Amino acid sequence: MFNNDFLNNNTLEFYKQFFSEIPEKSGVYYWVFWPFKDYFLEDENFEIFIEKIKYFSSVNMNLPERTNVGYKFSIEVRERALDCDIFGLINNKSKILIKHLHESRINRYFFLIYLKRIVFSKPFYIGKANNLRNRLQQHFDQRNSDILNHLKEFNINHTDVLIGYEIIESNLEENINTIFEEIAQRILKPGLTKRPG
């Protein structure tokens, strides 16, 4: 389902400007944090590349879960961020990874392909639409978009967010994309989705 060969994606900033690139078809869409640019792969930008990996490792795109059931205390549970500079790696593993990435542009390129697959398997938001273009345009309106407000709260630039989508068509009267969305939300538990379905 998340093979990047058929998952269409581009930055939030791109789709806000060129929304006509989004099809007017039904489907499911995914938002992911992705602060990497192609020019980071070049040797002269290696230090920037590593800094972006550290930045990527430090961002936690999950809303806290809160409960207050009439008792004296309320509880807030938040997923912990990674403790170390790079993906929480310990025992010299981050140094080995950095050495591997420093060896060649090809190593960096394949690492980003690998990382992108992982990121799209854990999006921070999943939605569905009968018309992907119309629904995403609604999200792009800062005044009415909880997601854009959360991105602002997390200090995330719109060029650092990818939106991917899959077209899901059906001849049934009921829109099957609603079920696909709920399945994805229940399995992947995206951090900014408040409840499945």
- Domain presence at residue 197: no
pLDDT of the residue at 15: 94
Q: Which of 7-16, 144-153, 178-187 has the lowest mean pLDDT?
A: 178-187
Domain of residue 103 covers 8-188
Tell me the whole-structure pTM to 2 decimals: 0.79
pLDDT of residue 3: 37
| Residue 196 domain flag | no
**Does some domain include residue 134?**
yes
Instruction: Find the radius of gyration of the CA atoms of the chain.
Output: 18
What confidence tens digit (pLDDT) does each residue in 51-110 have? 999 988 888 776 555 555 555 555 555 555 555 578 888 878 889 999 999 999 999 999
Amino acid identity of 128?
A: K
Q: Is the pLDDT confidence value at 146 over 90?
A: no
3-state DSSP assignment of residue 11: strand
Cα–chain-centroid distance for residue 184?
A: 13
Query: Cβ(170)–Cβ(32) under 8 Å?
Result: no
Within-domain flag for 194? no
Pairing of strands 125-129, 27-33: antiparallel
- Cα–Cα dist 158/151, whole Å: 8
Number of domains in the chain: 1
User: What is the SS3 assignment for 31?
Assistant: strand
- What is the three-class DSSP state of 165? strand
Q: Per the domain annotation, does 195 fall within a domain? A: no
3: in domain: no
CA 2 from centroid of its chain's CA atoms: 12
